[in-house]
Amino acid sequence: MSREVRTGSVVVDRIGELVTNDPTLGEGPLGIVRDAAVVVVDGVVTYAGPRAGAPVAEHAGRLDAQGAAVIPGFVDSHGHYVFAGDRAEEFAARMAGQPYTAGGIASTVRATREASDEDLAAGVGRLVREAALSGTTTAECKSGYGLSVVDEQRSLEIAGRHADEITFLGAHVVPQEYADRRDDYVALVAGEMLDACAPHATWIDVFCDRGAFDADEAREILRAGIGRGLMPRVHANQLQQGPGVQVAIEVGAASADHCTHLSDDDVEALAASDVVATLLPGAEFSTRAQYPDARRLLDRGVTVALAADCNPGSSYTTSMPFCIAVAVRDMRMTPSEAVWSATAGGARALRRSDVGHLGVGARGDLVLLDAPSHLHLAYRPGVPLVRSVFRAGARVR
């Protein structure tokens, strides 16, 4: 269903600072090991620790890190890569004072429906490659700009050729042709569209917010998806306080995404649940909106993920280093928390235990930085610090 993983073998040696995200392997929550080496054989980590203890791995290429830092590949758990056209004019108008509304989605839906499969696939491939160049080794991708049975189904089928985790988002907004009969659209999404899309996805998502779907509609669609074997995740509380987070908790979602406008009850409910709060700094940056307060969530013990939310409307970036820098500067995260959230946090949001860390048995996804420490990702914003990227031990940069 999702893209094939090409595997390779490599020894990365003379690592000045290795972030494993495994506290049993090293210092602090990031499990930091200094003067380290990582060995990946046939796509899987077989050693991560001090250089001195590294086994000899025959047939594996050797990369000399020359004292630089290595971190796990980024796990970007939230992206909308299947679309045609762009909305640069809408962005420019916003920067001149227009507010962001979900209404702009309709123009991308028009362009996406008109595009050929080949053009859509080329666009997804381009964005997944772009993300990989900045260190993303696991990418989630949603439908949501087709909003008809045939266009949602083909969006998912195309996403599956390039991305790792595929999410059905037929409930992005109500398309214009259903504006006067939204109940019929909800029934379509939960019925015929779900039947066509479920074989091409692992996840189901609903945009539960102002201008999109209300709590009852979201519950109906998410429950129908769960009934078809999909796992739920929710676009929640982006534009205003509302029921999105509570719905996510009720249905046992892996993740509530955005979490920008939260009541105290929302924060307490998240803390008492195992729902990951996925924060998307690119969206607030590009809509000039209030940032979510990560500190408020972290201080209550909520698991926080960071993701890029790449889409042509609210956040046209694939760069996780950019998201880390913004999250540290404007969302009250420490640099170490932000790196954890962009790697291990993303893996939690996708319920993946094989990525987001570099312990033995993990997939060999790692990023060699042009910097001595992971702290530099926030400390040196906008600088291309990603020197080399390996996915399952195969070099992608």
CB 225 within 8 A of CB 201: no
Which DSSP category does 302 fall into?
-
Q: Is 258 left (phi over 0), alpha (psi -120 to 50) or beta?
A: left
For residue 76, the minimal CB distance to Fe ion (Å) is: 11
Place of tokens 């790196």: 339
Q: Which residue's CB comes closest to Fe ion?
A: 309
Considering the rule CB under 6 A, would residue 94 count as an interface residue with ligand NIG? no
SS3 label, residue 320: helix
Helix, strand, coil % over all residues of the chain, rounded to 5: 35, 25, 40
Token code pair at residue 255:
């993740």
Q: Does 352 bind ligand NIG (CB under 6 A)?
A: no
**Near ligand NIG by CB under 6 A: residue from 275, 283, 310, 328:** 283
**Residue closer to ligand NIG, measured from CB, 310 or 377:** 310
Q: According to CB under 6 A, which residues from 223 to 252 bind ligand NIG? A: 235, 238
Q: Using CB under 6 A, pick the residue from 105, 147, 302, 324 that binds ligand NIG.
A: 105
Is the separation of the CB atoms in 128 and 135 below 8 Å?
A: no
Asked if 167 interacts with ligand NIG (CB under 6 A), we say no
Give phi and psi for 143, each to the nearest 5: -80, -160
Q: How far is the CB of 107 from ligand NIG (least distance, A)?
A: 9
Q: Where are the alpha helices (DSSP H) in 170-235?
A: 182-188, 194-197, 215-227
Piece of the chain touching Fe ion by CB under 5 A; list 22-30, 36-44, 123-131, 303-311:
303-311
Site for Fe ion in 216-245 (CB under 5 A): none
Residue 105 interaction partner, one of ligand NIG, Fe ion, none, beta carbon < 5-8 Å per kind = ligand NIG
Shortest Cβ distance from residue 62 to Fe ion (Å)?
40
Q: Does position 309 bind Fe ion by CB under 5 A?
A: yes
The region of 14-22, 241-249, 306-314, 361-369 touching ligand NIG under the rule CB under 6 A is: 306-314
Edge-to-edge strands, sheet with 276-279: 74-76, 136-142, 165-171, 203-208, 231-236, 255-258, 276-279, 304-306
Q: Does 76 bind Fe ion (CB under 5 A)?
A: no
Q: Which does 141 bind (CB under 5 to 8 A by kind): ligand NIG, Fe ion, none?
A: none
How far apart, in whole angstroms, are the C-alpha atoms of residue 253 and residue 233? 5
Nearest alpha-carbon partner for 300 in 321, 319, 280, 275: 275
CB 37 within 8 A of CB 14: yes
Interface segment toward ligand NIG; rule CB under 6 A; list 48-56, 103-111, 133-141, 176-184: 103-111
Among Fe ion, ligand NIG, none, what does residue 313 contact (CB within 5–8 Å per kind)? ligand NIG
What are the tokens at 329? 């500067």
Using the minimum distance from each CB to ligand NIG, give the nearer residue, 22 or 209.
209
Q: Determine, following the binding rule CB under 6 A, whether residue 286 of this chain makes contact with ligand NIG.
A: no
Which helix (H) or strand (E) is 139 found in, with range? Answer: strand 136-142
Would you count residue 213 as binding ligand NIG (CB under 6 A)? no
Site residues (vs ligand NIG, CB under 6 A): 80, 104-105, 108, 207, 235, 238, 283, 309, 311-315
